[in-house]
Structure 1
Amino acid sequence: MEPLTKPRLRNRFTEALGIEYPVVQGGMMWVGRAELAAAVSEAGGLGMITALTQPTPADLAAEIARARTLTDKPFGVNLTILPSISPPPYDEYRQVIVDSGVKIVETAGSSPEPHMPTFAAAGIKVIHKCTSVRHALRAEKLGVTAVSIDGFECAGHPGEDDVPGLVLIPAAADALSIPFIASGGFADGRGLAAALTLGADGVNMGTRFMCTTESPISQTVKERIVAASELDTNLIFRSLRNTARVAKNSISDQVVEILSAGGQFPDVQPLVAGARGRKVFENGDLEAGIWSVGLVQGLIRDIPDAGELVRRIVVEAQTVLTERLRLFS
């Protein structure tokens, strides 16, 4: 295909992070590897390597080095901090990020506060992922460079407030003074145009980047996302107040049924084991376990190169905004 024209798109987010376009590939477990992150960054967006996808801190160092052989443009590392009986060595992963010279980190899960002094001392810019305005304001006070605000449409954990992006994004714009990007429900240029119009500085996309050629997940999973509609997700763990949006399959149906009948986490723990979800992505067995996907799968209709996708989204956004502005002439 002919190369797409590259419009110029600059704002406080792109300037703060040193990137061309405010299109971010969110850090996703088992998905955020060097090839995908580098392809997004090389196209002018911001790619993310997922730290905990790598089994050890040493493996993370090797993955960062591998990404550097694929692009000389900025990319980041996602560090998701979650409560656990046997937590991974977060401090060691954090030190690898510092020692590697990566200058952008996406934090998610728990508060980034314990990690901020180390990141700040190393000149690392932190984007913290939030599901509410109140959490975003707390992150702002901690000194993060930007926040990523997740609407109820998102894959994974949307929080417990159930506020969709159409309300959450302008609410965040009214409250925050730092740059922020919108997450949940974004797949194309219309979404980027909408996010910018609502007051965000860009978009963060997970499910959409799962469906690219550089994404390391099984082709079967990608094709399932393309074929699925916005109705093909389940919300699990609602009764446990740890809501997660995952693909609708026999396993997630069972989890919903058990918990709706009064079951507790131990009753579903064997069904939701992370190792089972990993088999979905690696082997393409769509019924092996639960796996995260967003409502936006209903808008995904192809599996392009990640770089082509970034460029296409920016061109589409420019076209949409230009055409809509003509309505006022």
Structure 2
Amino acid sequence: MKTRFTELVGVEHPIVQGGMQWVGRAELVAAVANAGALGLITALTQPTPEDLTKEIARCRDMTDKPFGVNLTILPAIKPPPYAEYRQAIIEAGIKIVETAGNKPQEHVTEFKKHGIKIIHKCTSVRHGLSAERMGVDALSIDGFECAGHPGEDDTPGLILIPAAADKIKIPMIASGGFGDGRGLVAALALGAEGINMGTRFMCTKESPIHQLVKERIVANDERETELIFRTMRNTSRVARNTISTKVVAMEKEGAKFEDVRELVAGARGKMVYATGDADEGIWSAGQVQGLIHDIPTCAELVSRIMREAEAIIQSRLEGMMSGAQRQAAE
């Protein structure tokens, strides 16, 4: 299945494994790449730029297929050395980068000098248009269903994707709520050139998180997420657990970030994936949990999605069209 996106990044299937903090490591990324999709190492999961260089090399030892790196730019009191991470990406010879977060112009400009294809992840049409003007090569448009930061507009993918497709000229992949062939066909119909999946790839055999967390995702349904930081206008969708429920309750009582800082610390979220204790800290998961029923290999997942998509297009949709034509002829 060729789309403008597969042609742009040189992969076989229009499926992307999005950058995920603590999850986008070499073993997962290489497995996704070997399955014919696009895998992304999460730069800031690595403690230093030097560690990122090593992680890229480790991934290359496991695959000769294209893969990229995610660089997320977020406001912080003490921001990480973004320029050093960017230089590590360039020096490693990476040719595909996903940017996300605030105003990536500086990074876009530098990456473009080195012939790197840039996918920018955003949650609104206006931000997509801004990124297009900055010179990015593709967009990942992220609907309200997604894990992580869905923005503040609360626009679900069924509206956001075609609204973006109406105005944006560069290739676009759809993010948020995708996990099977039905979603891929829907995304293509809405004007996207592929899909981006985070939570679904978390729940694969090669995903470097604890088996108990994967089993929790399978057991959860589409209602098992929580929106935290709503009152701070920094909304984040996370898996529902005792801590997320407590944070939401504290926000309703007027809590500020300082009041919940210890509960939402990234180190605690990292421990969830390490220990399998789903109530240890905050961890990201999307509403697509309701569509996840097993823990396949990445190769099994990608091939199944493509088989399902082709069957829907060839059998169901074409069958409907030919049936309508027969009725018209009669």
Equivalent position to 1:247, from 219, 239, 264:
239
Which consecutive residues of structure 1, in runs of 5 or more, have no partner in the other structure?
A: 1-8
Flag as ranges the 4+ runs of structure 1 deviating above 3 A.
Answer: none
Which residue does 2:282 correspond to in 1?
Answer: 290
Q: How far apart are residue 325 of structure 1 and its match?
A: 2.1
Which residue does 1:190 correspond to in 2?
Answer: 182
Which residue does 2:3 correspond to in 1?
Answer: 11
Q: What amino acid is aligned across from residue 328 of structure 1 in structure 2?
A: M
Which residue does 2:33 correspond to in 1?
Answer: 41
TM-score by length of structure 2 reads 0.96
Deviations 1:85-109 (A, max 9, x none): 1111111100010000000000011
Q: How far apart are residue 118 of structure 1 and its match?
A: 1.2
Deviations 1:203-256 (A, max 9, x none): 000000000011000000000000000011111111111111001111000000
How many pairs were matched up? 321
SS of aligned partner of 2:38 = coil
SS of aligned partner of 1:47 = strand
Which consecutive residues of structure 2, in runs of 5 or more, have no partner in the other structure?
A: 323-330
5 Å-filtered alignment, 1:1-329, equals 9-322=1-314, 323-329=316-322
SS of aligned partner of 1:201 = coil
Deviations 1:47-88 (A, max 9, x none): 000001111111100100011111111000000011111111
Distance in 2, matches of 1:285 and 1:60, equals 27
Deviations 1:287-312 (A, max 9, x none): 11110000000100000001211111
Q: What amino acid is aligned across from residue 292 of structure 2 in structure 1?
A: I
Q: How far apart are residue 261 of structure 1 and its match?
A: 1.0
TM-score by length of structure 1 reads 0.97
Distance in 2, matches of 1:256 and 1:42, equals 40
SS of aligned partner of 1:134 = helix
Which residue does 2:328 correspond to in 1?
Answer: none
Distance in 1, matches of 2:317 and 2:180, equals 16
Distance in 2, matches of 1:281 and 1:21, equals 28
SS of aligned partner of 1:106 = strand
Distance in 2, matches of 1:206 and 1:70, equals 21
Q: What amino acid is aligned across from residue 320 of structure 2 in structure 1?
A: L
Distance in 1, matches of 2:100 and 2:318, equals 36
SS of aligned partner of 2:69 = strand
Distance in 2, matches of 1:167 and 1:35, equals 35
Output the aligned Cα RMSD: 0.6
Distance in 1, matches of 2:207 and 2:318, equals 35
SS of aligned partner of 1:326 = helix
Q: How far apart are residue 114 of structure 1 and its match?
A: 1.0
